[in-house]
Amino acid sequence: MPTTNQLLSSVQVARFVAHGFLRLDDVVPPEMNEEALGVFAAGLPSVPYGTPVPEAFPEGSFARRLVELPAVAGALESLVGPDPTVDHHFVHTRLPHEGSAQPLHADALIDLRTEAFDVQLMYYPQAVTADMGGTLVVPGSHLRRTNESDTGRYQNLRGQTRLTCPAGTVLLLHHGIWHGGRRNDSDTVRHMYKIRFNPTVPQVRLWDTADLHDPAVREELRRTFPWYEQATARLEIHNRIGLWRSLSADPGFDIDHWATRITNRPAPQRSTA
């Protein structure tokens, strides 16, 4: 993937760390959105797990042009770095008035990484209205570890977002985010194209760090969400502190002294006698 200067800012990356996703509205041009429907109808070739982007998506292919759009390429490079590999890709299609909603789930089966993450790109070639269903996402859920569909028994959580968006919108999600496709109650076929990217470099300061010490970074990282319990909301922020320390290469970063306090391990004092 070519280097781009449309990298994310520190505030945007901090927002991703807090929310677990980043939304890019209307970044795919109309002619590509129209082309996408024909490409999806024809079917996409399978991609072996861990294939480099240039091999997974040949030059000139729709998927290659999609991920090389400046806004998309810059955001991906900021989160997973240059030259990621493609874990898998798939077109999710919901027919008109189709069935029930997908259970709430996370796609990361038995994934215990704390300092690294995959990014899932979700692309919507059509405008998604409320009756079309769209993708439900639970903000701030990505660092609360769950095993795939263990959350499926939950029907609704306060503060969840049910996507409505203009055509050409792209979501970039942390692999652990709780989400689910909603049922389509409209008369329109709904498409969503997903690509999961694996990093091949350490995810450290990959974005534009000019605003690394902007106070807004800390404010993004201390954000809470309506579904959080009062006490365990602090654990969510603590998890973000650990991830931000890794991403920013700042082992001393903290919010309200929480991480410093619980990692305090004074060394035994040697006797001078």
- E strands, the chain, where? 21-24, 51-52, 85-94, 119-124, 135-137, 161-162, 169-174, 179-181, 190-198
Handedness of CA 229, 164, 175, 205 (dihedral sign): negative
* Contact assessment for residue 250 and residue 256, using Cβ atoms and an 8 Å cutoff: no
Which three-class secondary structure string do you get for 3-54?
Answer: CCCCCCEHHHHHHHHHHCEEEECCCCCHHHHHHHHHHHHHCCCCCCCCEEHH
pTM: 0.92
DSSP assigned state of 99: S
pLDDT value of residue 154: 83
pLDDT value of residue 265: 86
Residue 258 included in any domain:
no
The one-digit pLDDT tens for each residue of the chain (273 residues) are: 554 579 999 999 999 999 999 999 999 999 999 999 999 999 999 999 999 999 999 999 999 999 999 999 999 999 999 999 999 999 999 999 987 888 888 886 677 788 899 999 999 999 999 999 889 999 999 998 877 788 888 878 899 999 999 999 999 999 999 999 888 999 999 999 999 999 999 999 999 999 999 999 999 999 999 999 988 888 999 999 999 999 999 999 999 998 998 888 888 887 665
**Six token digits for residue 140:** 């701030």
Within 10 Å of residue 51's Cβ, how many Cβ atoms? 17
- The kind and range of the H/E element at 262 are helix 258-262
How many angstroms separate the CA atoms of 7 and 12, rounded? 10
| Domain around 20 | 10-198
pLDDT value of residue 39: 96
Residue 165 included in any domain:
yes
3-class state of residue 180 by DSSP:
strand
Residue 254 included in any domain:
no
pLDDT value of residue 267: 84
Residue 262 included in any domain:
no
Burial class (CB in 10 A: 0-12, 13-18, 19+), 64: middle
Residue 189 included in any domain:
yes
3-class state of residue 228 by DSSP:
coil
pLDDT value of residue 109: 67
Q: What percent of the chain has pLDDT over 70?
A: 97
Residue 18 included in any domain:
yes
3-class state of residue 122 by DSSP:
strand
Residue 261 included in any domain:
no
Residue 50 maps to which CATH number? 2.60.120.620
Across 166-176, b (16+ Cβ under 10 Å) vs e yields: ebbbbbbbbbb
Residue 257 included in any domain:
no
**Six token digits for residue 220:** 């993004």
**Count of the separate structural domains present in the chain:** 1
